[in-house]
Structure 1
Amino acid sequence: MMNILTNQSTEKVYLKNMELSLLASGDGTEVIHHKLYKGSRWAMAPEENWTALEHVTILSGNLIYNSQEGKIVLQPGDSLSACPVTELSIFYAETEVQFLYVTSQPQFHVYSNSLKEMYDLAVSVEEKDGYTAEHCNRIKELSMELGAAMNLSADELYILNLAAFLHDIGKVKVPIQILNKPDKLTADEFDIMKKHTTWGKETLVDTNLVDLINAGEIIEQHHERYDGKGYPNQLKEAEIRIEAAIISVVDAFDAMTTDRVYRKAMSVSAALAELEVNKGTMFHPVVLEKFLTIMN
């Protein structure tokens, strides 16, 4: 019996400058509709132990393929295949492009499920740490606003989006009695707490997904200080990625203006004043100045 597919039956994932829709799957084969926004890039790359047939058919728009023979413009009706892919192929959307991608080995849910699992885990960690589920969203939204004001590229903003939401995911390995302790942590307890940045990076590296691995590098740095007195690696100034410097400011502001188990929330004005006192020591001065401009 033939299955009739409607828009309601497809699964969608929204990624950096593109939309993916799983149209059909079975027996290991997937048919995925791709929509690339103008100016975005997409790639087919060889992977170890990957033996799949991969096929692309252009539905609309112009997709630029930089092959070994030179630049090729793929237009509606054009197609290409490989079994398996043996070389990195990078495509550029000269216009908005839609195409069908068929693979004989499933991969759609590898990304969508992994990302959802990480997001759910991040929210559960924040709730255990005394925040609400909205903490992750607040950090993400304000970080994105600050990142845009800092003129980050689309690629940088996408990774910032992931890292900001998942910034404290490493706390899943911190014992709950330390996470929820109402009193000041002992030196030994604080040493354990400080490991959450590296544990966060390791958690994302274990997904084997490139975007999450890149986000993990930022997460590991979000408690570094501009003066080099942060953790885990005592990085300073330009050694700290700008995305991590952004999350550092936003996270500190949100922490100060949120009720915690050991203290009441500060007012917005008091929190901003506290941030300014630490400009150039704890926080990147340019990032902080831009944040204060936004908040004012």
Structure 2
Amino acid sequence: MLNKAWPQFAETWIENWPDELLSLSFPHIGIRLEEREVHALAALNGIGCHRFDRCREEDLCALEAKFDGAIRRFPQGAFIRLGSRSPKDTVHGVITRCKAFDGRQTIRLLTSGSERVAYDLRAARKANYPPWVFVRQWADISPEMEFRCFMKNRRLIGVSQYFYQTSFPVLDSPEIRNTIKTVLAEFFAVFSKLSPLDNVVFDVALFLDKAPHVKLVEINPFHPLTQACLFSWHASDFDGGFRFAQSESKPEPFMDFFPLCE
């Protein structure tokens, strides 16, 4: 049973995933932050820094060395994030796509004025919960092949394009859609049994190469604070549909997805 003092939604964070669930995602190295390292990152990040001790150079240097050691395992670069979420809400995060090649770049990503990082470090400290940083093997994910999935009572009640404001012509193909549907169905059959919660919103990336497969990107709370993409948080809107952004060539907003719910 989880400690009630943990921050809300901590069950969805990577460091709390069971090993079997971790195997569905990308290779990574997790680094549990010590209290002085939390203070150093939060102070340097600048958002709400008055709630933390000043940034000490020796603490940053030690943390940089830890990140260097982890990233050496991934010579093609690594995606940097907290266990809770990534610092993609900054200009630097957008430009770099949260990719780093060494410890210094990792620290810069985590300290570039991210509201997300600031909030999560503050919540963790308030709950006396040690946050984690994950150095994740870099993977080039095609934006049209990333999807947000909604699971309630371990049933799939909707799937949406993750980048829901953009239409991708490749997704107009019935063949591609059927392939996505089939591969996701196989993945969901496994994920639904391993999820730590009955109700979650989870993001996946599809790789349609010679052996099509799915990788789990992250798990989010089943809560209105989580972006619903092409759905809305009205209960009646989750109809089991597979929704795509409309395109001029085929203005079809969704396709039937009920077989995944059987």
Q: TM-score range by the shorter chain?
A: under 0.3
Structure of greater relative contact order (alpha carbons < 8 Å, 6+ residues apart) = 2
TM-score (norm 2): 0.25
The structure carrying a bigger helix percent of its residues is 1
Rg (Cα) greater in structure: 1
